[in-house]
Amino acid sequence: MKEKVKVLLTETEVDARISDLGAQISKDYEGKEIHMICILKGGAFFACELAKRITVPVSIDFMYVSSYGNGTTSSGNVKIVKDLDEPLLDKEVLIAEDIIDSGRTLHHLIPLLYKRKPKSIRVCTLLSKPERREVEMEADYTGFTIPDEFVVGYGLDYAQKYRNLPYIGVVEQ
Ligand code: IMP
Ligand code: MG
């Protein structure tokens, strides 16, 4: 049976919020340069839209990580499937992530990245589901705080589908 997708956040709402985030980030990083790290695959759509709305210089690099563990719940270890191309030394790193759920991915990734001696690391996430948190992880910039529901669109997938939706939706069976 084909699942249905109910709109949670419209394209207009998401775009407006990304503009707000871009403006805030541009202000906070005035006089600096941002090295954006896009976490694939989900973060790609958000990272591009965000980067377009930032007015300080932005360089961008991509990383693909997967948390591996016992099936459905991640053990909290994170495996780098595709590493960054550029070094992070002395850079102002801004991680662009689609969603923070348990918090485990970033909780384990950030210390790994600090070993590469960036000047700073901040996190910008489009969505956050605080009710699902298993480890402490608060983003520096959060687009929307949402309830504990499985969402798709704007890079987020359900079995690799729906990443291309221009809005955030909830999957209904
Ligand atoms: P966590 O914060 O380590 O639990 O994992 C976050 C990752 O899980 C995200 O980057 C997504 O790839 C995936 N994820 C978590 N919640 C959802 C959701 O509601 N829809 C789609 N993917 C999700
Ligand atoms: Mg992800």
Q: Find the Cα–Cα–Cα–Cα dihedral 45, 173, 149, 167, rounded to 10°.
A: 30
Long-range CB contacts for residues 112-116, cutoff 8 Å, separation at least 24: 112/78, 112/80, 113/37, 113/88, 116/87, 116/88, 116/89
With the most atoms of ligand 1 within 8 angstroms of its CB, the residue from 78, 99, 136 to mutate is 99
- Measure the CA–CA gap between 38 and 12, rounded to whole angstroms: 23
CA atoms 33, 39, 41, 47: torsion sign: negative
Alpha carbons 111 and 95: distance in angstroms, whole number: 13
Residues contacting residue 16 through CB under 8 Å, at least 6 positions apart: none
Q: How far is the CA of 132 from the centre of ligand 2 (A)?
A: 15
Residue whose Cα lies nearest atom 16 of ligand 1: it is 101
Decide: residue 136, CB within 10 A, 0-12 exposed, 13-18 middle, 19+ buried.
exposed
151-170, pLDDT tens digit by residue? 999 999 999 999 999 999 99
What domains, with CATH codes, occur in the chain?
Answer: 11-148 (3.40.50.2020)
Between 69 and 172, whose confidence is greater? 172
Ligand nearest to the CA of 154: 1
User: What size, in residues, is the chain?
Assistant: 173
pLDDT for position 3:
84
Predicted confidence at residue 108, as pLDDT, reads 92
What is the per-residue pLDDT for 78? 85
